[in-house]
Chains A and B, each alone.
Chain A
Amino acid sequence: MRKQTKIFALLASVCVAALLGGCTYESGPKAFASTNFDTTPATPPEGLNESGAEWLKVALEKAKTDPEAQKYWYKGYVKNNILARQVNSMFNGAVINDKGYNVDARIAAQPYQYYRIDDKHYIRAKEYWVTARDEPLAFDVLAGFEDWLPFMDKAVQLPDDKVYGTETATFQLKMTGAEWLAKSQSPLFEPLKQQLGDRPDLNYILNESTIKTTFWIGKEDRLIHQYETWIILPLPEAGTMDQQVFFQLYKYNDPGIHIKDPSEVERYLLY
């Protein structure tokens, strides 16, 4: 038999042996891999003399007045985990304050675009641009952050972190849904507050829930760069619903931010 034929026969035998060989998945570490549930925050760095409330107040003030904070990119999502299922909504795009924003969005696996500039509002769904005709909400991208201020005095400072290379001071606060609802001045909570009187079952849900919010505020620019809220709610027939709300605001004043002229949308408008 020629030499190359022998080598080939040998290689073929190796292949056959490899294919016939069974395999056993040996155990990993026989100990529970600890999760981050109820972890105690690490010791914060020294040198910050202001409270979390002060940091958030300054950040909101700067966001309104700093000319270099009037346009930025953003991306965010809401992830809803129930049993083995995850349902997401996502958002990303750019904002130019007092002008408009665009949103590449997704609700439960259905992508769409929302374009808002001055008093014009358009939606792109399934390849078609259409005029959005519902009554618009106020154009105020940082609305709602001030509602966190009453809670921020109790925020715990976490070790500094980096968001897209920006050094940030990090603050975290934790409470139940019942505490959140009771102390918050947000008008969004009014319908639920009114409903609670007749519904002890909802009070039970609120008392058993956990709300945990974290802010990442730039140490140099004092702007909000990231925030996250975990909402853990008891859910009938499902244990709990673990919901993560997460947003990043980045590249403040990026010269590359451009929101297209309405005429570029209107030429493709279906109706």
Chain B
Amino acid sequence: MRSRSILSTLGWAVYAIALFLIYQLLVKPAFLDLSWIALLIFIPVLAGFYFLIHPSERRQVLVFTIGFLLLDRALTRVDVKTTAALLIGGAIAVIVIALLVKWYGRLDWKAVGALVVIALLANVTFNRYTLTALSHFTVQEETARLYNGDWVDYFPITLYDVDGDGKQEVITYGNAMELPLPETVEKPETEEEKKALAEKLLHLQSEPLSLYVMRWENGKLVRMNNKELPAETLDRIKHQMPTDFPGFPYYTMKDDQLVPNVQRQNFAEGMMQIGTTPYRAFMLDMENIANKLEENKGSMDLRHELGRHYKDLHIINGVLSGTYDGKPFSGKTDATKLLTTMMLPDGREGLMIMGQHISVMVVEADGSLKEAYTLTRKEAELATAEFIPADIDNDQVDELLLAGKPSYILKPTPEGTWDILWSSAEGDTSFRFSNFAAVGSGEPEIIAKAKSWVSTTDSRYLRGFSYSPEGLTENWRIYLPLINVQIGDIDGDGQNEIIGNMYNTHRILVFKRHNIPVLPLTIAVFVGLVAYGVVRRGRHA
């Protein structure tokens, strides 16, 4: 009798686990990928399930199913701002749903207990973002919010081995430690308090901003103390950070501060002299550029090292200079940015620079510069594009992944032109290349953000692709709109992790690849559940 009771409880628990896996790994992705087509498929499937269950058990199973999914969802949405709110909200969700399930489903307490325990375990034993990636990845780490300011939506992230221990550190900007959030927000009561708040609200405020160098320690990202980093190291780290202009031209990053360049009243009144708006915008731009040039001593861009062969690169006064394989070179340029390098068909390493257009320069034997390839604004929207060199066909010549609208894979030809190997579909404004790197220990893959082919929204998820002349074949997906994606070995195990964050969250996520065939296993669970239902129904019939 007792063993039957335990079996019954275990049976409900196993059903809850199967339900959870099927819902999270099959049903939700199907809707995210197939949109309304998933609905067309699942309505008859749900109807099938309904009739598959014997009428005498139908009520119990349906109420358990809905109750479990509702409780799981409720627990994921509980307010987590304070521990008390978390506990009280969670307890209310558990009690209400447990009582409803007990009363309406006429389930025994053991089934209700199994429902509650599995829902609780699903919410406290692992990072829920894992569910968005579980077919190939687990989430190893999610940091706390690193930025507590008012307005910056994201900061760049880069990976760099700061301490030479073979593990890459994660580097970004933040101010959570410098600008802790108040425990409670008090309403101003006295005249002094009101005046002080009014003063604060009248003007845009500066915000502290620091480099956050984060090291992998005991399975977590832990911030290194900037004061313990030598000045030379900090300088090197700053040079590793991707160029970014948060708030430009309305804010400037200066001396560990984000400083406003405009104020609310004056800015609104200036813009409301509508004909002057371009004049004011232009003056603000030029003021910022003048300050930037002054700070850089007239230099447009500077890199100590780029690619395999280039060193001491400098653009100043319309001249690009540096060394290639130790030999000095220089030449005229109208570029303002040193982008990257790429291996060219003639075996030389080209230097990609950006002005109004893109040029790939090569260094001639006499130390002069020659434009080997060019990409104009007429051909592609370059201003907001990203450029990723990638040898996608293993011929020792880099192709160029151009992330833009549309995105292209361009192969440099020996004749100095570009061969378009692939382009994103007409009208697909979502697709954007992100990286070319090995994730885990496999071969390098193209990593891109893309939406499902049927979706009408611009929501896009991170996907890994392999290139072939037929197109890009998808290898994996993470159902999160990740940005700032970086690939590198941060835990020193010789395998690369995916590091990224989501828009306006300022929390860094670390994804680790696994080799468990989660999706086939879940499908097997689904098929097993259906088979069990069929057999059980056959016995009852």
Identify the A interface with B (CB < 8 A): 1-2, 4-5, 7-9, 11-12, 14-16, 18-20, 22-35, 37-38, 74, 76, 78, 80-87, 89, 91, 95, 101, 103, 105, 107-110, 112, 114, 116, 121, 123, 125-126, 128, 130-134, 136-138, 140-148, 177, 180, 184, 186, 188-189, 191-192, 195, 199, 201-202, 204-206, 208, 210-211, 213, 229, 231-243, 245, 247, 249, 270-271
Q: How far is the CA of A213 from the CA of B45 in the complex (A)?
A: 58
> Are A24 and B474 in contact, with the CB atoms below 8 A?
yes
How big is chain B's contact interface, by range? Answer: 35 or more
- If A8-B45, A82-B245 touch, does A125 touch B264 (CB 8 Å cutoff)? yes
> Are B248 and A231 in contact, with the CB atoms below 8 A?
no
Q: How far is the CA of A270 from the CA of B526 in the complex (A)?
A: 60
Of B263, B275, B335, most A-chain CB atoms within 10 Å = B275
Q: How far is the CA of A60 from the CA of B139 in the complex (A)?
A: 61
> Are A103 and B530 in contact, with the CB atoms below 8 A?
no
> Are B243 and A202 in contact, with the CB atoms below 8 A?
no
Contacts of B534 in A (CB 8 A): 1, 5, 9
Of B277, B293, B299, most A-chain CB atoms within 10 Å = B277
> Are B286 and A205 in contact, with the CB atoms below 8 A?
yes
Main secondary structure of the interface of A (DSSP, over half): mixed
The stretch that binds A, out of B80-88, B227-235, B324-332, B423-431, is B423-431
Query: B465 at the A/B interface (Cβ < 8 Å)?
Result: yes
Query: B150 at the A/B interface (Cβ < 8 Å)?
Result: yes
Q: How far is the CA of A5 from the CA of B51 in the complex (A)?
A: 8
> Are A242 and B383 in contact, with the CB atoms below 8 A?
yes
Q: How far is the CA of A211 from the CA of B278 in the complex (A)?
A: 10
Q: For residue A7, which residue of chain B has the nearest CB?
A: B48
Set A19, A89, A114: member contacting B250, Cβ < 8 A: A89
> Are A205 and B279 in contact, with the CB atoms below 8 A?
no
Contacts of A232 in B (CB 8 A): 356, 383
Contacts of A35 in B (CB 8 A): 377-381
Main secondary structure of the interface of B (DSSP, over half): mixed
> Are B378 and A271 in contact, with the CB atoms below 8 A?
no
- If A30-B420, A33-B406, A145-B275 touch, does A191 touch B300 (CB 8 Å cutoff)? no
> Are A240 and B336 in contact, with the CB atoms below 8 A?
yes
Closest 5 CB pairs of A and B: A144-B275, A8-B48, A144-B276, A145-B275, A271-B198
Q: How far is the CA of A5 from the CA of B538 in the complex (A)?
A: 9
Contacts of A235 in B (CB 8 A): 245, 289, 292, 336
Of B34, B273, B283, most A-chain CB atoms within 10 Å = B273
Q: How far is the CA of A270 from the CA of B198 in the complex (A)?
A: 7
> Are A85 and B274 in contact, with the CB atoms below 8 A?
no
- If A15-B45, A28-B424 touch, does A229 touch B267 (CB 8 Å cutoff)? no
Set B383, B384, B385, B426: member contacting A33, Cβ < 8 A: B426
Question: In the complex, how many angstroms separate the beta carbon of A68 from the nearest chain B beta carbon?
Answer: 19
Q: How far is the CA of A270 from the CA of B251 in the complex (A)?
A: 27
Q: How far is the CA of A211 from the CA of B530 in the complex (A)?
A: 66
Question: In the complex, how many angstroms separate the beta carbon of B265 from the nearest chain A beta carbon?
Answer: 4
> Are B272 and A101 in contact, with the CB atoms below 8 A?
yes
Q: For residue A136, which residue of chain B has the nearest CB?
A: B269
> Are A131 and B198 in contact, with the CB atoms below 8 A?
yes
Contacts of A30 in B (CB 8 A): 420-423
Q: How far is the CA of A270 from the CA of B195 in the complex (A)?
A: 8
Q: For residue B380, which residue of chain A has the nearest CB?
A: A32
Of A23, A210, A238, most B-chain CB atoms within 10 Å = A238
Q: For residue B385, which residue of chain A has the nearest CB?
A: A84
- If A11-B45, A15-B45 touch, does A4 touch B51 (CB 8 Å cutoff)? yes
For this complex, 8 residue pairs linking A to B, each with C-beta atoms less than 8 Å apart, are A23-B473, A29-B423, A87-B250, A109-B151, A145-B274, A145-B275, A210-B356, A240-B355
Set B49, B266, B274: member contacting A247, Cβ < 8 A: B274
In the complex, besides A83-B244, A239-B336, 13 extra interface pairs with C-beta distance below 8 angstroms are A12-B48, A38-B378, A81-B384, A87-B247, A103-B268, A107-B204, A107-B267, A110-B151, A114-B268, A116-B269, A143-B274, A249-B274, A271-B197
